[in-house]
Structure 1
């Protein structure tokens, strides 16, 4: 490998591939915190130029984190489709980019190609793509998944309904759930972050959501986002869970900090298939986010985009129903401002799709990031244009339990109407059947949670 170049009369030399990867990355405060960023814009451009000429076989033959040292690396390596890899191993990263963006290259072509790439190769090409490149390429790829319903179809913008409550009140949670449904939200999953991570609390919330779904015959999935071991105990005790959730990371050490490894997720996967209440083949839900490995001091000197890509290589093992990156949640130490959050969201979505992951994004930020709701709405529009499988919605865009800002129920409705996106087909049929949708659009009951209480008690509508 040649890891040096000359740019405008200045020579740039890089010690190893890990440094090239890091310095070719777009500016991220997390990489700066880790001491990995390019010193100047010129050095970043030089690193991108060097990276663009690196061959895919060189990336595989010089792993940033060797498989003998890391479980995630081993799983990524073991998953490579060898015939596909052999057909592209002599491509440069630049040639990979040109193929991805070529008008003749279809989404099916990209899904087939992705099986022969490692996560590091996908991260490398991401670093030399513009934001529009990432939108255009990701929009080609259709990744379908099925639990109780199927999502991911072209033209569909599904959503997770997140009716969190600061005391895990079932009544409060149901009120928020009903409001979300009245906006047509909730086809990807009704997913609750519990305050109380106990088995009894998780069981209570799972039963409450399951009972409401059954009462109203809602074509969706339920999930409570406690630690995987807590959910497994709840399921063993008879709790009805369509999906099992877990946050994951891109290194073995970071996963260990989450209290997980592949063996535990293998066990959860097996339990979800045998005891879960979901009817389809896809029964796991993962969350990720750039910077988690650094926050766990488990990044091994690797930049956060590459580590995030490795998350998706790890997730592939389990064929999840959904995965979303919580793009602006960790804080300004990792993504400092709106520009960095927008870039990260587009990177993550593209990389997930290239891995064949049914990819969603929690389009969000914390109050101490230099971002505002306009930045988040901008990212929502870009992701909807990029064909994101689903986004997350909270009441008024303000999660009263996790204390961060996200898209609101009405933001998702506005994205659908503005860009011609629809809920999942069977979910839209249900919305039409009960009267929340009329002729493919929200009816006069939009945003009125009392629709459900009036209907249930026979009140006038």
Structure 2
């Protein structure tokens, strides 16, 4: 395996595959924090050259975290389709990129290809892509999943309605929920981040949202984003949950810092098969974000983008309904400014799609990062172009519980109208019946909460 190259009369030698992967990354403050980033633009280009010439089988045969040390590595390798892998193992990473971007290679070919790719291979090819490459390639891929309703069809843009409340007041949650629905938001999920991570609070919110959904026959899914063990206890006590949620990471050690393991996820899967209130078969909601492994000191000297790709390999194993990266939430230590957030959002979306998972994005930033709402909207436009499955929306783009900035209900409608996208079919039909949509777009009644008065 050759890990050196000569550029401009200078020989660049890299000590191991981890170093090549990290230094081939576009600049990220998290990689600088971890001491992994290329020191110069020239070194970054050299690392990309070396990476581009590696064979896919060399990446598989030199795991960044040995399988005997990490269950995420074992899951990623164990899920590989050996027939597809054997067809492509002698491709270089550059050849993989060229194949993905070919105009005659579309959804079916890319979905089949993904079965023979490890997460590290997918991360490697993403490192060689421009932003436009990432957009173009992701837009080819259609990932359709079903919980209560089906989302992900071409020509649609779904959304998560996030009616959080700073005290978990159910009346406040329901008022925000009504507002979101009145703007056509919420087909991916009505998902609430609770302040109180107790079984009783989770059960109360699930019951309140499900009662509202049943009363108004809203075709969507409910979920409360507490820890998975809390949700499981609530479900065993009869809480009506359509999906079960958990934040995940790209290493076993980082997952354990979250209080989870593959065994626990499998236990939750069995529970949902027996007690989910949705039709299924997809009942998992996973959330990720570049930098989480480094923040848990569980990154094994691997760059944050590659670890993020491993998240998706772990998620793929459990056939989720939706997955999203919370792209600018962790802070400037990991993604310093809007340029880095936009790049990470496009990387994450592409890598998720190439894994074959239903990828969404929480387009967001915290108030101590160098970004603003215009940057959010820019990334929203790019991801809509890239065919993102869903986007998260909060009232006025301001989450009053989590204290960060996201996309607003209005932003979702604007993106849909601008790019001629509709909500998911069953949800769209309901919006028409409710008078919220008319002639393919929001009606004059949009935003009118009296829609939900008897």
What TM-score bracket applies, with the shorter chain setting the length? over 0.9
Is 1:45 paired with 2:45? Answer: yes
Q: Deviations over 1:14-72 (max 9, x none)?
A: 00111000000000000000000000001000100110000000000001111011010
Is 1:363 paired with 2:367? Answer: no
Q: Residue 225 of structure 2 corresponds to which residue in structure 1?
A: 225
Q: Residue 250 of structure 2 corresponds to which residue in structure 1?
A: 250
Displacement, 1:9?
A: 1.7
Displacement, 1:317?
A: 1.2
Q: How far apart are the structure 1 equivalents of 2:365 and 2:178?
A: 25
Q: Residue 431 of structure 1 corresponds to which residue in structure 2?
A: 431
Displacement, 1:373?
A: 0.7
Q: Which region of structure 1 is more displaced relative to structure 2, 389-398 or 444-453?
A: 444-453
Q: Residue 153 of structure 1 corresponds to which residue in structure 2?
A: 153
SS of alignment partner, residue 318 of structure 1: coil
Q: Deviations over 1:215-257 (max 9, x none)?
A: 0001000000000000000000000000000000000000000
Q: How far apart are the structure 2 equivalents of 1:29 and 1:272?
A: 39
Residues 45-444 of structure 1: pairs in structure 2 closer than 5 A: 45-444=45-444
When normalised by structure 1's length, the TM-score is: 0.98
Q: Residue 30 of structure 1 corresponds to which residue in structure 2?
A: 30
SS of alignment partner, residue 187 of structure 1: coil
Displacement, 1:345?
A: 0.4
Q: Deviations over 1:387-407 (max 9, x none)?
A: 000000000000000000000
Q: How far apart are the structure 2 equivalents of 1:293 and 1:387?
A: 27
Q: Residue 459 of structure 1 corresponds to which residue in structure 2?
A: none
Runs of 4+ in 1 over 6 A off after TM superposition: none
Q: How far apart are the structure 2 equivalents of 1:301 and 1:434?
A: 53
Q: How far apart are the structure 2 equivalents of 1:330 and 1:171?
A: 29
Q: How far apart are the structure 2 equivalents of 1:90 and 1:240?
A: 49
Q: How far apart are the structure 1 equivalents of 2:120 and 2:387?
A: 23
Q: How far apart are the structure 2 equivalents of 1:190 and 1:440?
A: 23
Q: How far apart are the structure 2 equivalents of 1:217 and 1:370?
A: 42
Displacement, 1:319?
A: 0.2
Q: How far apart are the structure 1 equivalents of 2:187 and 2:373?
A: 24
SS of alignment partner, residue 345 of structure 1: helix
Partners of 2:434 and 2:451 within 8 A in 1: no
Q: Deviations over 1:79-137 (max 9, x none)?
A: 00001000000000000000000001011111100000100000000000000000000
The size of the alignment, in residue pairs, is 454
SS of alignment partner, residue 190 of structure 1: strand
When normalised by structure 2's length, the TM-score is: 1.00
Q: How far apart are the structure 2 equivalents of 1:334 and 1:173?
A: 31
Displacement, 1:435?
A: 0.4
Displacement, 1:448?
A: 2.0
Displacement, 1:304?
A: 0.4
Partners of 2:180 and 2:409 within 8 A in 1: yes
Q: How far apart are the structure 1 equivalents of 2:323 and 2:411?
A: 21
Q: How far apart are the structure 2 equivalents of 1:380 and 1:276?
A: 32
CA-based RMSD of the aligned residues comes to 0.5
Q: How far apart are the structure 1 equivalents of 2:249 and 2:439?
A: 43
Q: How far apart are the structure 2 equivalents of 1:108 and 1:152?
A: 15
Q: How far apart are the structure 2 equivalents of 1:142 and 1:407?
A: 23
Displacement, 1:280?
A: 1.7
Q: How far apart are the structure 2 equivalents of 1:311 and 1:216?
A: 36
Displacement, 1:440?
A: 1.2
Partners of 2:159 and 2:391 within 8 A in 1: yes
Q: How far apart are the structure 1 equivalents of 2:367 and 2:231?
A: 30
Q: Which region of structure 1 is more displaced relative to structure 2, 401-410 or 7-16?
A: 7-16
Displacement, 1:449?
A: 2.1
Displacement, 1:451?
A: 2.2
